[in-house]
Structure 1
């Protein structure tokens, strides 16, 4: 379950905007369909963590104030999301990409420990990581005109024997963008999703 927090993290307060609530489940369902039928995405092993439901309640007082700070409009919402463990196979572990640079009490990053335990060189390990992450994101952009914000909280890395295998993607409320061109493969994307997603040029998104 994702809930709003009144903390400023990275670029904004971590609320839940009502604008995207209805589009989130529709977007995740559409993406799951593409990941289940597209040969490149199937081969990548990447999967979408679905958002089966979401809810939002606007505050009547703040809604009536056009100058009210945005964070006061995002304080009461909820998103239900699939648990990564539902898709893990025997011997696999899932970690947020954001955890790769976390450090222990001696200041050593977790990624260093995982690389050593994998038995691979750092270059070989990173090649596995980039193959697992870059291909599905880039393919979504080129074939469907869909860009997902790839920060470390939205990407879950799946490892087996400490070696990167594939990724899980999540958060399709406000962290999904569309290229401002028509893509035949994206015609089936629900209109309710298209209506609320920001559109940019491919160069801007990259």
Structure 2
């Protein structure tokens, strides 16, 4: 479904990612882990069309590396950014509607919103509340839900557990586990144990490059990963 080859990403003149290549097959959860500042978020942003970059990014056989970000939603790629970035002065429902403005999602907007409210019952309870008044966990649910209303086939999730209470983190990951039945997911996550537990395969990013790759179970058993990221 997604094939990234020899990706090099930049912020202005500053290079952050070097020669990164990976594949994502339909129906997989692929986790990208690493320390803060390693380049994980930049990789997702490059796939979403939000950075300057070189190399090849192919989605369903089509080269998309030269497309602007707004075209990605039309192709079926949704990016849920780090830090949630909901629209605080809009209601929960208004935020969800904002996710479904691309042509492929607009005709099924109400069905998509109803589905998101079933997935996240807390959002149904708070449908008319301003997003800025929600808790951090509820805002994360809303950010994921907004991504889902674009009707994606590929969901890019950037640090969904950031700043969220542990009990809500467990709930978020249980939801991701359910979503993988219908949507292919690329996950950048600081909670490495959670990320690898649900991953079909994973990549460890160090200093902007892939240092280790393997299945989720292989990375959980890797001595370097256990020492550096799992505290074992």
Per the shorter chain, which TM-score range?
Answer: 0.3 to 0.5
Looking at CA atoms only, which structure, 1 or 2, has the larger radius of gyration? 1
Query: How high is the TM-score relative to the length of structure 1?
Result: 0.34
Query: How high is the TM-score relative to the length of structure 2?
Result: 0.32
- Which structure dedicates a bigger proportion of its chain to strand? 2
